[in-house]
Amino acid sequence: MTRRAYAIIIACFFTVSIAYGIRYAYGMLLPEMLPALGISKTQAGTVFAVYFMVYTLFTPVLGTLSDLFNYRLIIVLFTAVLSAGAFFMAYAGGFGQACLIFSVAGLGHAACWAPVAALVSKWVPDHKRGTALSFVTMGVGLGIPLWGTLLPVIVAAANWRSGWLAMGVFGFCVAVLNLILVRNPILVRPSRTSVRAKSREVWETYKGLFKNKTFWIIGTAYMLVGFNVLVPFTFLPVYARESLHLTYDTSTRFLTVIALFGIGGQLTLGTLSDKAGRANIMVLCSFIMGIGCLCMVFFKTAWGLYATMALYGLGYGAVWPVYAASASDFFEKSKTGSVVGLWTVFLGLGSIASPVICGWTIDRTAGYTWAFSLGLCSDILSCLVLMQMFLPKTKPVAAVE
């Protein structure tokens, strides 16, 4: 690979790191935010759901725009938008303000995965794609532990609002780094095609995808995975703090364990997918995450949950590079941004529903068993959906033209 390709991988690593750090810092800071903002578990889940609504709506738009126009501009600009959303979360005074401000962060994050994954895919050789994307998504595995370590210190020294300020400032630094390092793919040339012609091209791409059964199978499985992921990342720290009466430091550390072992999942399962096949590893990831949620129902001690989160992290870490890499496996490489963007809509639907539904069950039952059980059910369904990939009639044999 060229030096520019390595520079872009590094920039994308930091972009993904701060994007997912900000996303999942919400669950880390939630135990302190709940009493300060005076909101219920359902309202807390709704704030996160609003974030994912905006993220879901704009991800396919920005993924397609990056394919057609300018990866560098979109990634730089929306990294700054993401950072602004995190920065101003420090000034949220209630439920409505939190929804509005965090939705800005969701808008920024919309350009910090689909365009990033597509850009990396176009800069690296095909046989290195899974490995390169696994390295980029290691930013998630390092970003979450970094903020999982820093936020308790910041909260102890100041308050939860200072935690949001720190992440916002760091995000602006990443936006500057992207401006310096990111470049558009070499094969992309300025186009003189009219806006109408480009719109027609986009519509034809979408129609081709909507008629492709493999697209729907993977998208549906991705939606179910999205539901599962938001269960521990939204409510596990609150569960540990309120139900198990653990300290704030210990409660946030469970997410750090997921992220750290997620790196192991990326390095092993993500890289293995280049040889073993994406569909096989997708099923394995869903199975591992389902077992993790099952254990959450029964394990009531800190060390039991540490072990559970370590297992869960192996599957969680590999999900993102494997699903992203599969877009170029099953569909035309030039359409990667559009494919990943549309799949992220599926992911967003699961992510929108999860915190609201699970938050409602917690408020109604005053317990977390239903929430964790729903996470288990979503991954069982994900495995069943993906099994269709192994049937002869559903093998992906043609790329979208």
Mean pLDDT of 66-85: 90
Q: Which residues contact 177 (CB under 8 A, 6 or more apart)?
A: 11, 14
Res. 191 pLDDT band, cuts 50 70 90: low
pLDDT tens-digit profile of 224-249? 999 999 899 888 998 998 889 998 88
pLDDT tens-digit profile of 342-367? 887 898 899 889 999 999 999 999 88
- Phi and psi, residue 299, nearest 5°: -85, 125
CA distance 355 to 232: 10
The residue type found at 247 is T
Averaged pLDDT of the chain? 86
Q: Tell me the pTM.
A: 0.76
Mean pLDDT of 1-15: 89
Kindly tell me if the per-residue pLDDT of 8 is higher than 60: yes
Q: Which residue has the tokens 């072990």?
A: 307
Cβ–Cβ under 8 Å, residues 75 and 59: no
Nearest to 33 by CA among 350, 248, 240: 248
Handedness of CA 363, 290, 257, 282 (dihedral sign): negative
Kindly tell me if the per-residue pLDDT of 189 is higher than 80: no
Res. 275 pLDDT band, cuts 50 70 90: confident
Res. 5 pLDDT band, cuts 50 70 90: confident
pLDDT recorded at residue 401:
43
Mean pLDDT of 260-278: 84
CA distance 99 to 264: 34
pLDDT recorded at residue 195:
56
What are the chain's domains?
Answer: 3-184+196-394 (1.20.1250.20)
Res. 190 pLDDT band, cuts 50 70 90: very low
pLDDT recorded at residue 188:
46
Kindly tell me if the per-residue pLDDT of 100 is higher than 90: yes
pLDDT recorded at residue 122:
83
pLDDT recorded at residue 398:
46
Mean pLDDT of 21-46: 91
Cβ–Cβ under 8 Å, residues 51 and 211: no
Structure tokens at 280: 């096989």
Res. 76 pLDDT band, cuts 50 70 90: very high
pLDDT recorded at residue 199:
63
Mean pLDDT of 33-45: 91
By residue count, the chain amounts to: 401
pLDDT recorded at residue 198:
62
pLDDT recorded at residue 400:
43
Res. 56 pLDDT band, cuts 50 70 90: confident
- Counting Cα atoms < 13 Å in the Cβ hemisphere of 349 gives 13
Kindly tell me if the per-residue pLDDT of 394 is higher than 50: no
Nearest to 108 by CA among 54, 63, 66, 64: 54
Mean pLDDT of 245-274: 86
Alpha-carbon distances, residue 372 vs 42, 77, 93, 231, 375 (angstroms): 16, 37, 30, 7, 5
